Structure 1
């Protein structure tokens, strides 16, 4: 019996730094979506027999369609008869390839907030107006779509970022909306082709998610069937097919990702799974004890705990480059697992698979320019690009196509304790990449005490759940201070706290001065090696969430 095909929206990536957000916004609507390179063809996608493709979205990007090397779209996709939404560059590309014209904007460049206005008569054209159904006017308006007697046009605030514009429409297209400076802000064709010159995926477009929903449900005819229950069922079946009767070792880091991966694998194959927690010496205070308590006593999943701190710290001695740290830790993880698996194999039988909690953003950020996305690689994640080329395990990665919020929903569905589900993410290399420069046991101990204080105060202030991540960073900077009547020359610690929904972008958290004051006071009074505290107020981008 063939498994039921999964409805999907395919997002073609033209290099926008927020292309991933489109995929995530679609997933938030409980519709499955994948981000694929712009070079992907319709034939490539049709070969994925498990997918029932309901439509396409062409992302934004930095190119101009009239440039000689501008990325294009497989013409078969444009002529497939399936709905297509073009966003910014994607709209221009669709217009260009279907016979319209795009030119460098003269007086119509738009960067930042703008207001689109639906053109007169568009609302009565039901074939093309479906994209705006159910939307409310901007706050200064009082008219609603269900009051056709009103003559005020619908106006919506949006976020623009373009220097080119469509100046001639392809045959059959109509203009649905304009802005004060751009006569072509939204276009549509009765066959389900829609173009937005603005970006509905960013939060700066307040009703962007509603526009995306209209495309998914009113134009593509999708069902909201991408639910935690469906994800669990599909993943469990996939693991069973991959693993068969073989044994699996699962790497636990102490975070929600590896925990959910372990629960999914355990549901699929039961006692064929053994979990392993390796203490690298770079863990947070009390990390090992919490992992053992949760898995052995609460979830009743077999767990082997290994203390390999001396081994890891020995390998990291003298290393200051963050990419080298990540690769060293990634390789040592595998070597420890291989050695321990060999011991377990003697007792329990051959272990052929390694399970880990790789997420979709990990894959995107670690992938090179020419394989998964046209966006540049940001850094190597220890469990993706940091793995050694040669290893005896085959990988089981049940979360590889999931975002963090999806993983949390699945964790709750599987019975993971809520306090674990909502723990802030912890990087696989641990505190090794929060000690800037060489990693030593002394520095790690300083940072552990500092990090504990930061989290304690954030929890006490009741803002822990509002934050995506919060932590301390031990910098290599020392500065002069005064304590009592004496001079000090001690460490500078940075505090980092961000708000984020997807970890692909993040904003620095506006913690109260009182909270920051309490954190600073405790750090310099309780950790004698610290005499100065700074707060990081950089968003992602341009920074990343972690410092290394």
Structure 2
């Protein structure tokens, strides 16, 4: 299969590059950036992209591309850190900026280039760099500069080498998809033959080869990701081979367990086990306030309960553990394809020590780990997952535990469950739910003075969070009509007696994450 190979140097949007290339219709995959040439999967490769990175090319521990890559005769596009690597590799000079160039920046062309075919002069790019090319290497020409007169694009005079300082993969970059398509299709000559249907066929083949006749266990939460994995497994293997284990942690949304069971039965699940373990999780979380510790504890208890259920249900030890891990989970946990990504937050299904043990045994399968949320929804549609399930807002694996700041208790879970249900129901009633990527309530660890009737009381503070996004990598606060926000806040304080105040979170990602913990 023809493909574009993305070399991962630890940039947070590395996988997003591959995802955008696939969006164009060209297959793309990611490998560690420092992979030796002889170990690269070059069969069918039409082009190579060097990703961004949190490092400087001069850092001692900075990941470096094998210099022999430039001699393969395959077109190369360096993005951000990637273009700085090209410049450094060929004898140019990269230096830190006095003021980092971050965010929107207009670009101006110094000469025509097939890379910018169909892109207008002065388009708005997206920058995120602290270093810049101050001396262009011999044999290269500058093809674009930013509005700050910094080098924004270079090309080699003879070799098919290109580099850009901005990030065309992020949605904030105008004409970014055009730039990537120009590289993949116009320059590399790759054909648009990749579809979600072809991905489904490939992943099913890989799963059958890896798993064979061994039993499969999916620890299912009922959210979009795990439900799509369930549908995939049930379409790929005989139903009796697939065991679905749902653990009610006591950290779920209102009526979650009943809805999950109904949805899974609809998909054809026969081996479905519902485990009520609220007391187990709440006891383990008692007194814990650190969010990373919460995630680790929940991950450990999940696996402990799972292993106990395996024995009780007489499921063989060699059962594969399936998970709905997405690539955003991996990169936020510093678990991207390479080993240079920075940790933003741990995910219970990525960094748990017990999960790591399963990984070492080669008994974990994560068929969605190369996909983003919108791609998962498209895959789910191919698999026949009901639309109302696919359109549910994302819900974190640790559940309400990471939406309750501070210690988690049953009382706080009940308060947050009720407030959140009101919020979501109102969004649906007002036809706002599908305009929003993710919405939820957060219970803050403070009480505030209030008045109920003629009495003075101290109630909890609930923060409303609602964001718009396409892939979860960047997000903006949803611009609520004022009347809707005021009315929803009033409903929560009136109906949930322990909530005395409601605030709205207007932070974007970055610098904030979507979840609070």
Give the equivalent residue in structure 1 for 2:105.
114
Q: CA deviation at 1:261?
A: 0.9
Q: Does 1:363 align with 2:330?
A: yes
Q: CA deviation at 1:111?
A: 4.5
206-215 or 30-39: which moved more?
Answer: 30-39
Q: Distance in 2 between matches of 1:102 and 1:447?
A: 51
TM-score where L is the length of structure 2: 0.92
Q: Distance in 2 between matches of 1:183 and 1:351?
A: 56
Q: CA deviation at 1:453?
A: 0.7
Match of 2:490 among 521, 539, 542: 521
Q: Distance in 1 between matches of 2:280 and 2:477?
A: 36
SS in 1 for 2:77: strand
The 3 A distance-change label for structure 1 pair 95 and 545 is same
Q: CA deviation at 1:113?
A: 3.5
456-465 or 483-492: which moved more?
Answer: 456-465
Q: CA deviation at 1:203?
A: 3.1
SS in 2 for 1:385: coil
Give 1:117-156 correspondences, 5 Å limit: 117-119=108-110, 122-123=111-112, 129-135=113-119, 137=120, 154-156=121-123
- The structure having more radius of gyration, on CA atoms, is 1
Q: Does 1:42 align with 2:23?
A: no
Q: Distance in 2 between matches of 1:373 and 1:498?
A: 30
Give the equivalent residue in structure 2 for 1:148.
none
- Output one character per residue of 1:149-189: Cα deviation in whole Å (capped at 9) or x when no partner: xxxxx443323444544344434433323345427432223
Q: Distance in 1 between matches of 2:142 and 2:509?
A: 35
- Output one character per residue of 1:487-509: Cα deviation in whole Å (capped at 9) or x when no partner: 01111111111111121222222
Q: Does 1:234 align with 2:219?
A: no
Q: Does 1:403 align with 2:394?
A: no
The 3 A distance-change label for structure 1 pair 104 and 329 is closer
Q: Distance in 1 between matches of 2:199 and 2:153?
A: 35
Q: Distance in 2 between matches of 1:464 and 1:73?
A: 44
Q: Distance in 2 between matches of 1:168 and 1:460?
A: 58
Q: Does 1:307 align with 2:303?
A: no
Unaligned runs of 5+ in 1: 124-128, 138-153
Alignment check: 8 A CA contact 1:354 1:393 kept: no
Match of 1:377 among 343, 355, 363: 343
Give the equivalent residue in structure 2 for 1:334.
303
* Number of positions where the alignment pairs a residue of Structure 1 with one of Structure 2: 512
**RMSD after superposition:** 2.5
Q: Distance in 1 between matches of 2:34 and 2:118?
A: 35
Q: Distance in 1 between matches of 2:255 and 2:447?
A: 28
Give the equivalent residue in structure 2 for 1:53.
45
SS in 2 for 1:493: strand
Match of 1:26 among 21, 24, 37: 21
Alignment check: 8 A CA contact 1:246 1:350 kept: no
Alignment check: 8 A CA contact 2:334 2:340 kept: no
Give the equivalent residue in structure 1 for 2:80.
88
Q: Distance in 1 between matches of 2:407 and 2:150?
A: 57
The 3 A distance-change label for structure 1 pair 159 and 298 is closer
SS in 2 for 1:305: strand
SS in 2 for 1:405: helix
Alignment check: 8 A CA contact 1:12 1:56 kept: no
